[in-house]
Structure 1
Amino acid sequence: MSTTGTTGTTVLAAGDHFVLPRLLGAEVRKAVGGAVAVDVRELTLPWPHTPFGPVGEVIEASGTEDELIEALRGAEVCVTQMAPLTERVLAASPGLKLVCVSRGGPVNANLEAATRHGVAVCYAPGRNAVATAEHTLTLLLAAARGVGDTHTDLREGVWRGDYYDYDNCGIEIEGATVGLVGYGAIGSRVARILVAMGAEVLVHDPYVSPRALTGIAEPVTLDELLTRSRIVSLHARVTAETTGMIGAEQIARMPRGSILVNCARGALLDYDAACDALDSGQLAGAGFDVYPREPVPAGSRILTTPGVVMTPHIAGASQEVAHKAARIVAAEVGRHLRGEPLAHCANPEVRG
């Protein structure tokens, strides 16, 4: 851990190897300006070199409670992506007033404990929407044209002319019907790109007004989306209702030879059912960035089923995302120190 500055409000920049501590620190200083003196401490957590996981009672965290407790001594603010903000950490940090998590949701913070200890928790909505939308299109196009298998063959020195056979050819986006399950910050961007490419876009999202889709997409039920779409891409949040929402029954409703893409969360999809559908030809291809277990276990069917193009949960990883995330949380620090309302606070009742 390194310390920068000598006086002023102490801010812990608990970054990692993606959202770097120095990016967080630089943006905090920029957001605060000369109006308030800040003492920025930097802590580097091991993610993504070491996979995140549960720490204490929180999920998807990196580092240890003891390490964070020590780093937070005397700190009023913590800006982080993965630090475990647990009951134990919060109880041991009485001077802490603000935590800013540079993610779409503060899943590594015990929100109930933070509220009880008087700590406001902010997050960074939309930070990776552009990157994830672009990556979704990357996998969608790759799956539609069989890029995964052809790439593997060429790397192994195999040139297969039968990829030009009619039954093995991929499909075009122009003129295709594409169904998007979810229409948030990411799904809406994917929709606009697909429309520009000439696709007909269907959307199933019970939380979106049909008026918001006017001129872009057609709102439909999930069943209609599945039966009409040659390509289906998942963009829903994981809830009790959406967990396992796409299984064997739903995939069977899709036209034979369809494409399925998931850059959202592994819990939305039954991957065994997807592999069965790929083996049978019900699905012609699939693009996956997220999985039921991460890292994907050795021997998983996903790794050997033909027609799958895969990436290791990197849809939201771009250099621009790291900078956007740092700017969003740093802006909250500036608001906090100037006594202004917070823009993205998960427990506003703490502020009164």
Structure 2
Amino acid sequence: MKPFIVVADGFDKNLFEDLKNTNEFDVHPSSKITQEELKELLPKINGLVIRSATTITKEYLDLAPNLKYVIRAGAGTDNIDKASCQEVGVRVSNTPGANNNSAAEHAVALMMTVLRKTAWAHSTMKSGGWDKSKFTGNELANKKVGILGFGQIGQIVAKRIGGFDPEVQFFDPFQEGSDLSYVSKCDDLKKLFSESDIITIHTPLMDATRGLVNKELLSLMKPNAILINAARGGIVNEDDLYEVLNAGKIRGAGFDVYATEPLEEDSKLRSLDNLVMTPHLGASTEEAQFRVGEMAVHQLKEFFINENLLNEVRV
């Protein structure tokens, strides 16, 4: 019997058609399904490909006795209960690196949007206004940019903003330095926050980083500084963020990720005038989705046909 594969949260259209047409798998005909539909399918699923919309919990695993393999089409796997997967023998992989450039560029886009106030200006223009005097912004040129987490995405951000002639510092206990002349390492996180004009977050969500950016660090930021998070929700304490932004203690922020996703309709973050928000678009480019899908299809074939597990993620 062919392995039954379900793609739950969307996929590159052409790659999905190729996957459905392969003789090796029985593929569910839709590449995007509701959580209710997924629960109904779980008892039959052998391989499951998800993005950020689906969370693999113990409850889901209990409904999926035939599940052998879960692929997170992306890098972060904090939406997968990996300990429970290991207990029942379900293997987990991600697609590392496939959306790094997309995520880095989105962080830069948020940075520029907050600095130049383009989102707010656009809103008033659509409403018939011409409020030029209200939207005096700031340049990125010659600013001091602090990067929290200097893995692959953080390093790409540093390269992408290099043409603006910034001074870049990074904090990352696992990275020693950088080949870029304008980048230096900062060993003191409080110093990074107190000295930087822009802080951009690029660390994974794990026990050591959950709630790491809190009132203490936010209170150290310059009054004209901005905070960017296109990494993972939960790294920034959102109650503390709200207090700082609502009081106008920093200039503004740009966020693509939230502790709870989708963000609640009544979230107080939505009321802030100095916060630019996007709905977790970091990996949402055609190029990134093709690379992610290509890796996922290859991993499915390697696992079920060649018994070869690629890019395994464990607790």
Same fold judged by TM-score > 0.5?
Answer: yes
SS at match of 1:267: coil
Aligned pair partner of 2:183 in 204, 213, 217: 217
Larger CA Rg, structure 1 vs 2? 1
Q: 2-side partners of 1:9 and 1:307: how far apart?
A: 52
Match of 1:12 in 2: 5
Q: 2-side partners of 1:337 and 1:68: how far apart?
A: 18
Structure 1 residue 268: Cα displacement: 1.6
Aligned pair partner of 1:66 in 28, 40, 49: 40
SS at match of 1:268: coil
Asked if residue 124 in structure 1 is aligned to residue 95 in structure 2, the reply is: yes
Root mean square deviation, CA, Å:
3.0
Q: Which runs of 5+ in 2 are unaligned?
A: none
Structure 1 residue 159: Cα displacement: 2.2
Give the TM-score of the pair, scaled to structure 1.
0.76
Aligned pair partner of 1:238 in 200, 205, 209: 205
Structure 1 residue 213: Cα displacement: 5.3
| Identity among equivalent pairs (%) | 24
SS at match of 2:190: helix
Asked if residue 39 in structure 1 is aligned to residue 32 in structure 2, the reply is: no
Structure 1 residue 305: Cα displacement: 2.0
Aligned pair partner of 2:61 in 87, 90, 94: 87
Change (3 A) 1:101 1:284: closer
Instruction: Give the AA of the match of 2:39.
Output: E
Change (3 A) 1:139 1:175: same
Asked if residue 173 in structure 1 is aligned to residue 140 in structure 2, the reply is: yes
Q: What does the per-residue CA deviation read over 1:206-235, in whole Å, with 9 as the maximum and x for residues that have no partner?
A: 12222x455352111211111211111111
Aligned pair partner of 2:277 in 301, 310, 329: 310
SS at match of 1:253: coil
Match of 1:259 in 2: 226
Contact 2:16 2:31 (8 Å CA) reproduced: no
Aligned pair partner of 1:103 in 56, 74, 89: 74
SS at match of 1:19: coil
Aligned pair partner of 2:151 in 165, 181, 184: 184
Task: List structure 1 segments (4+ residues) > 6 angstroms apart after TM superposition.
Answer: none
Match of 1:335 in 2: 302
Match of 2:258 in 1: 291
Contact 1:28 1:330 (8 Å CA) reproduced: no
Match of 1:249 in 2: 216
Aligned pair partner of 1:137 in 104, 108, 111: 108
Contact 1:289 1:314 (8 Å CA) reproduced: yes
Q: Which runs of 5+ in 1 are unaligned?
A: 1-7, 31-36, 51-60
Match of 1:33 in 2: none
Q: What does the per-residue CA deviation read over 1:159-190, in whole Å, with 9 as the maximum and x for residues that have no partner?
A: 22423xxxx63211111111111112221111
Contact 1:28 1:333 (8 Å CA) reproduced: no
Q: 1-side partners of 2:62 and 2:14: how far apart?
A: 27
Contact 2:20 2:29 (8 Å CA) reproduced: no
Change (3 A) 1:105 1:238: closer
Contact 1:68 1:83 (8 Å CA) reproduced: no
Of residues 223-232 and 290-299 in structure 1, the stretch that sits farther from structure 2 once superposed is 290-299
